[in-house]
Amino acid sequence: MDQPDTIKVLLVDDHAVVRSGLSAFLMAFDDLELIAEASSGEQAVALCHRFQPDVVLMDLKMPGMDGAEATRRIRKNWPDIQVVALTSFREKELVESALAAGAIGYLLKNVSADDLAAAIRAARSGKPTLAAEAAQVLIQSTRGGPRLGFDLTDRERDVLKLMIDGMSNPDIAETLMVSRSTVKFHVSNILSKLNAESRTEAVALALQNDLVT
């Protein structure tokens, strides 16, 4: 017989290995009870009808009915069941679709056992939990977020264009008729403003976002 404070959890993921690992996580906590596992969105909806879990840990990318649609159906039919999205992906569209569908939490699968348990308890109490990456995406989305590279100066854009052309710092310095240390300073600023780890990443971001003409 369940303890009054036991939280009944339904685990949804199309990969058996992932379900096995997550179930081991859950078994480590006395107040969490894994009542069923589902390998698809369709099965998740059916098991919610059968078992009435308190919290559903929902994978998002699955064949057939995806996690967002399953979440939408669960929340529509059983408003008392809370859904926490648990995924390997942090794309803006996934975060937004999961939260729009009614998920109360969004976690990445690299979450620790303690943080996962805390998120489940929070969900049971109606409190949201978002991975830092998901929260950042959401903040940028709701604000409209400044366009990437909005704060680049005209000279930094000149340097970035030459970086895209494959020029080294000495070549850029010669082309722009400035010192190498000045070019190095501009490149450093560019990487910082684009939140890029390398010249290659900065160039890729510039091309993806049409930062130079």
Q: Is residue 183 part of a domain?
A: yes
Residue span of the structural domain in which 71 resides = 7-143
132 pLDDT band, cuts 50/70/90, is: confident
pLDDT value for 92: 78
Query: Which CATH number covers residue 178?
Result: 1.10.10.10
Q: Which of 22, 37, 146, 48 is nearest to 102 (CA)?
A: 48
Q: Is residue 17 part of a domain?
A: yes
Q: Which of 174, 153, 151 is nearest to 162 (CA)?
A: 174
pLDDT value for 213: 73
Q: How far is CA 119 from CA 9, 38, 113, 114, in A?
A: 12, 20, 10, 9
Q: Residue with structure tokens 């404070």? A: 5
Q: Does 101 lie in the same domain as 189?
A: no
pLDDT at 2 over 50: no
The two tokens of residue 94 are: 């996934």
Give the gyration radius of the chain's Cα atoms.
Answer: 23
Q: What is the pLDDT of residues 139-184, one digit of tens each?
A: 666 555 567 888 899 999 999 999 999 999 999 999 999 999 999 9
Rounded Cα distance, 45 and 209, in Å:
39
pLDDT at 81 over 80: yes
3-state secondary structure of 87: strand
pLDDT at 91 over 90: no
The two tokens of residue 136 are: 């950042």
Which of residues 208 and 107 earns the better pLDDT score?
A: 107
74 pLDDT band, cuts 50/70/90, is: very high
Q: Does 63 lie in the same domain as 17?
A: yes
- Conformation bin of residue 29: beta by default, left when phi > 0, alpha when psi is -120 to 50: beta
pLDDT value for 21: 92
Q: Is residue 148 part of a domain?
A: no
pLDDT at 108 over 50: yes
Alpha helices (H) along the chain: 16-27, 41-51, 67-77, 92-101, 113-124, 132-143, 154-164, 169-176, 180-193, 199-208
Q: Does 89 lie in the same domain as 125?
A: yes
Residue 1 DSSP one-character state: -
pLDDT value for 95: 86
5 pLDDT band, cuts 50/70/90, is: confident
Last residue of a domain, one of 122, 143, 164: 143
Residue 100 identity: A
Rounded Cα distance, 201 and 103, in Å:
33
Which of residues 132 and 79 earns the better pLDDT score?
A: 79
pLDDT at 1 over 80: no
Averaged pLDDT of the chain? 90
How many separate domains does the chain show?
2
